[in-house]
Structure 1
């Protein structure tokens, strides 16, 4: 079967079709895929948006704005020529979002995103109250600002009236379904990213609910992909007749979708995702007994877990550099092809806090080794080396539990700055295979629905570019650079 790098015509598309939706950090997107996982001609819709951020660590977005965006996208994709062919609708969103809703299902809070770090004080308090290592092994999550126990406590302590006004607590995907369908559920891969789920049972964890100050009745039912929503409000069919009878799959987190979409669907392959944020993840069978201290492990369904670590700042670093640093006459992609240079500044690229591996919620970027002779180009190179070194710290811990034989890289940064992947290969000391398929996350969202709707249909292969092999001399340089990075990290970021 031909690869899915190009679109298939509606006439040649294999039924059943899936309408896939993705809410990322910079836009909401949608597309239609056939049973082989190929995008169908006439698809692809996008509505840009941006987080509201603040110097205090705020990172929010208006949830009703996102609901409107998704409604526009669905209307543009569920068109009459596809009548009777779309069997499922699937949605992923950025992970670890939180919205409080009232008794009528209306938002009484903004959507707090994964990058909101205002609950740093509450993270510190929880770490003094709880055995963090035990919490991590039970829920798969560390105590951190990107998870809900600390965020809910922060809201309760700093805005008690708003906290009390919320009758339910939902992720962004759950809220979108509630507003669009009249009913909702949390996909297991969404629930796992909250820090409130027992990863072994797949049920809400009573201890963490008590810590957060909420009850299980304030959260959604948790559903694996094999239990989509079928009974939706009649108004849905009236609004989008083409979707009559479609299965609506409970929202999942973008990390799970990204792995599936890039072709990293089992323990033999690790996926490097590099978009606004980033991660290295491996889908492993069952429930791993022990998790390395710097990583997370999310239950995604009854038979699989996602093991890995995440970075808040990858594409965000690129954007900040373009907006802040003098780069006139500099081609950033060509800049990445040069051999490493010892005069390059060493950068810890924590613009919005650190997740893996140190979980320092209040961390901020550090630049050292800069002088009056340092150019904008050198600072750009140093910051992107710092991003690669952040990935290396995750990979080092990942290798203690999983041993993937292949590394696939996808995401906006890998396509906008492809030569950076050579730096990544040199830092990791491992070949890296670029995924050339655009919108791998959206593709994966369709695939998770197709696992249920069309389990026996062969999937089209994911297209990749030539593998980038590490340069031995560069590997030696970056091993020394990693040691410098670690010393700097311990001096200014790590807690005693």
Structure 2
């Protein structure tokens, strides 16, 4: 079976074609960079209509290259937490709030969950600006009552392309509105968001499949009969694409942002393991959950440094980072974009300490990248606290594929655990395809997982 995998990321939208073993077909990749609007006030938004247009361009490119001829299934990895207000005509009333936006705040006089701990255990989330429980009331007030409904970025995009696009349990969990055990809208979370469960669309059932709208089926006749699987949150998809599909292996993924996660089987109705207070938990699908911690900093640290500092390039930069690490005196707080939940630090809290007249641009970058490694190591220890032994770790994502030095820095920070590297940079798209194919367990044996110090093929 041939699969078209879509990755609806923050910095780019991508489409790639995979074979029956979820391996990429040579040359069958289309990508468009996205412009993320950021600001000193904590803004972190995308243009929804522009995003849809870029995805359409990617599909046009793949179709023109003859890559969609035998596609039978379309899988989607999509960013969690995004929200977009729509008017009565279905058109956006503003930009898409991404996970990076730290502006939403509880409205004056609003009260959070009655039992915060029970709410955390039930939904895997907190009453926090990252989730719809705070975002939707804040956006509604900003829009002045003009909003007809709210959708995530993926529901907006797929809603334009498909005959229907109900929220998946994975995306609903990332919004903070799902009872993870019952796999239905959580009444208290919906009340905090200003909605009733009965007013929300029905969640996509197990095995749900969508089809292209007639207009797009004529545009891409190769996809007219293709089945579209329910979308998977990007973090969950990345775990599967990294080969981390049980409690023996944790995934550390660094793309635009970063996260450490553990995936476990958890069928609907099954009792879930206790959730440590500083970790979140979301759904992969109807049979699995993923638990972990995420950070607003990741590959965007390098993007900032590359833009603002006079860094060497390529192998020269890697060698300079290695030299800087031998006597690293910079202590860094990489909270450039603020905290991801449950933290509340706003954007602009990044810090660099230990500067001297001998400090170089590479020293600054090494300090920032090492600071993130230490955060991940601390949260992994919390993630392992209920396990009987340390996990093996698999590093993945585009930022780690691009830097052997950063992989080595993570291996040092995570020692004495065994640390490996998934060389395929498209772990999200690959993971979404395996979820759609019902082959999550097979991901543990994916090709491309090797030692962190092994030469690149």
TM-score, length-normalised on structure 2? 0.89
Match of 2:148 among 167, 172, 177: 167
8 Å Cα contact 2:230/2:436 also seen in 1: no
Distance in 2, Cα, partners of 1:376 & 1:19 = 41
1:210 maps to which residue?
191
Per-residue displacement from partner, 1:67-94 (whole Å, max 9, x unpaired)? Answer: 1111122222246956773211122222
CA distance in structure 1 between the aligned counterparts of 2:352 and 2:115, rounded to whole angstroms: 33
1:312-323 equivalence runs, <5 A: 312-323=296-307
Match of 2:265 among 271, 282, 285: 285
The 8 Å contact of residues 35 and 46 in structure 2, kept in 1 or not, is answered as: yes
Question: Which runs of no fewer than 5 residues in structure 1 stay unpaired?
Answer: 1-15, 470-496
Give 2:44's match in structure 1, choosing from 35, 59, 75. 59
Match of 1:178 among 132, 138, 159: 159
Q: 1:149 to 1:457 in 2, by over 3 A?
A: closer
In structure 2, relative to structure 1, the CA distance for the partners of 1:419 and 1:123 (3 Å cut) is farther
* Unpaired runs of at least 5, structure 2: none
Aligned partner (choices 206, 213, 224) of residue 233 of structure 1: 213
CA deviations on 1:102-130 (whole Å, 9 max, x unpaired) are: 233222221110000002x4299767665
Q: 1:446 aligns with which of 422, 433, 438?
A: 433
SS at match of 1:242: helix
- Are residues 241 and 298 of structure 1, via their aligned partners in 2, closer, same or farther at CA, if it must alter by over 3 Å? same
8 Å contact from structure 2 (residues 62, 68) kept in 1: no
1:10 corresponds in structure 2 to none
Spell out structure 1 runs of 4+ moving beyond 6 A: 123-129, 455-460
Alignment root-mean-square deviation, CA:
2.8
Aligned counterparts of 1:466 and 1:233: Cα–Cα separation in 2: 45
Matches within 5 A, 1:214-225: 214-216=195-197, 219-223=200-204
- Out of 401-410 and 103-112, give the one that drifted further: 401-410
Q: 1:407 maps to what in 2?
A: 393
Counterparts of 1:197-276 in structure 2, within 5 Å, are: 197-216=178-197, 219-223=200-204, 226-230=207-211, 232-276=212-256
Deviations 1:167-222 (A, max 9, x none): 22111111001111242111221111011111111111111111111233554432
Instruction: Determine if contact 2:162/2:210 at 8 Å carries over to the other structure.
Output: no
SS in 1 for 2:73: strand
CA–CA distance in 2 between the matches of 1:327 and 1:176? 37
SS of 2:284 mapped into structure 1: strand
Identify the residue that residue 379 of structure 1 maps to in structure 2: 364
User: CA offsets, 1:382-429, max 9 Å, x none?
Assistant: 111111111112112101134563211111221222211221122122
The answer to whether residue 405 in structure 2 is matched with residue 424 in structure 1 is no
Shift, 1:437, TM fit: 1.2
Alpha-carbon distance, 1:54 to partner = 1.0
**Aligned equivalents of 1:80 and 1:381: distance in 2?**
41
Number of residue pairs aligned between Structure 1 and Structure 2: 447
Matched, 1:397 2:357: no
How far residue 274 of structure 1 moved from its aligned partner, in angstroms, is 0.6
Alignment match, 1:156:
140
- Alpha-carbon contact 1:332-1:417 (below 8 Å) kept: no
Q: 2:168 matched to 1:187?
A: yes
Change (3 A) 1:457 1:96: closer
Tell me how far 1:305 sits from its aligned partner.
Answer: 0.5
Q: Secondary structure at the match of 1:408?
A: strand
What SS does structure 1 have at the residue aligned with 2:236?
Answer: helix
1:343/1:268 Cα in 2 relative to 1: closer, same or farther (>3 Å)?
closer
Aligned to 2:424: 437
The DSSP-based 3-state class of the residue aligned with 1:22 is: strand
Residue 363 of structure 1 deviates from its aligned partner by: 6.8
Deviation larger for 336-345 or 143-152? 336-345
Pick aligned residue for 1:132 from 113, 116, 133: 116
* Cα 1:456/1:356, change in 2 over 3 Å: closer
State the distance in 1 between where 2:365 and 2:68 align.
50
